[in-house]
Amino acid sequence: MTNVKIFHYNDKKWEYVITYKQQKHMYLKVRNDQIIISAPFFVQEKLIEDFILKSLPKILKKKTILKPNIVLNNDDSYLYFLSKKYQLITKYHAKKTIIYFEFNNLVVCTKIQDHKQILVKIQNFLKQEAKEIFINRLQYWSEIMNIEFSVLKIRSMLSKWGVCQPHKKVITLNYKLIHFDYQIIDYVIIHELAHIVHSHHQKLFWNFVGQYCPNFQECQKILKQGVIDETNNLA
């Protein structure tokens, strides 16, 4: 059973979705400015909102990655792709949604009117673009560093740019890296490949990363901001 409610926090109206399950505890996550709650059956709404009030500030502190590298509104819609700014142009005359780059624009042909649904379509398009670019860069650095990987996964992650499972040699990259330039993408790939050799963040690990990405600290600063603009472009 699922319910949709409204919650006010910091002068903002949040939509939250409650899914009731056979479980002991409540869980919360934020996705596209919507609060997702998983709760045990028969928990009172007041307890759920108290839980949101307690949990949301901690999650929002980690929400840097969700800063708007895509802005979709009626006046000035744009996104950053590989650190370049593209204007978003929406054309409402297509039977099905088609998205493509054209000069300095990203064109969205669709019959969908709802901005949230259009944003999901754009995000899915970016994930497909990211998959091809990331696998090429990962294969390149895998050869340079002489480190084998088994699988690349592309995900949307709230507080991580990349994850490595060293024993399985599985690397997961956040598709939002596609907003940044190749130097930033390469740094995260080098970082995660290095974890297959060094599964910690001690000096030996950072020395190893520095061999292949000497400016990794500058890359970290940009990633910590979580948003691309003309002031923090390494290119």
Q: Say if CB 39 and CB 19 are below 8 A apart.
A: yes
Q: Say if CB 187 and CB 216 are below 8 A apart.
A: yes
Residue from 228, 193, 233 nearest 213 by CA: 193
Percent of all residues in the chain with a pLDDT value above 70, rounded to a whole number:
87
56: left (phi over 0), alpha (psi -120 to 50) or beta: alpha
Q: What tokens does 67 get?
A: 């800063």
Residues 19-50 have pLDDT tens digits of 888 888 888 877 656 788 888 988 888 898 88
d(CA 230, CA 202): 33
Q: What is the pLDDT of residue 116?
A: 85
d(CA 184, CA 166): 21
Domain range summary for the chain, segments of one domain joined by + = 2-61, 70-123, 124-225
Q: What is the pLDDT of residue 214?
A: 97
Q: Say if CB 90 and CB 100 are below 8 A apart.
A: no
Residue 182 exposed, middle or buried by CB count within 10 Å (0-12, 13-18, 19+):
middle
Stretch among 64-73, 143-152, 193-202 having the lowest mean pLDDT: 64-73
Query: How far from 47 is each of 11, 22, 26, 38, 142, CA to CA, in Å?
Result: 21, 17, 10, 13, 49
Q: What is the pLDDT of residue 68?
A: 57
For domain 124-225, the CATH architecture is 2-Layer Sandwich (3.30)
Please state whether the predicted TM-score (pTM) of the whole model is above 0.85: no
Residues 49-88 have pLDDT tens digits of 888 888 877 766 655 544 557 777 767 889 999 999 999 9
Residue from 211, 174, 190 nearest 137 by CA: 190
Query: How far from 62 is each of 29, 58, 138, CA to CA, in Å?
Result: 11, 7, 26
- Better-predicted residue by pLDDT, 75 or 114: 114
Residue 72 exposed, middle or buried by CB count within 10 Å (0-12, 13-18, 19+):
middle
| Overall average pLDDT of the 90-111 stretch | 90
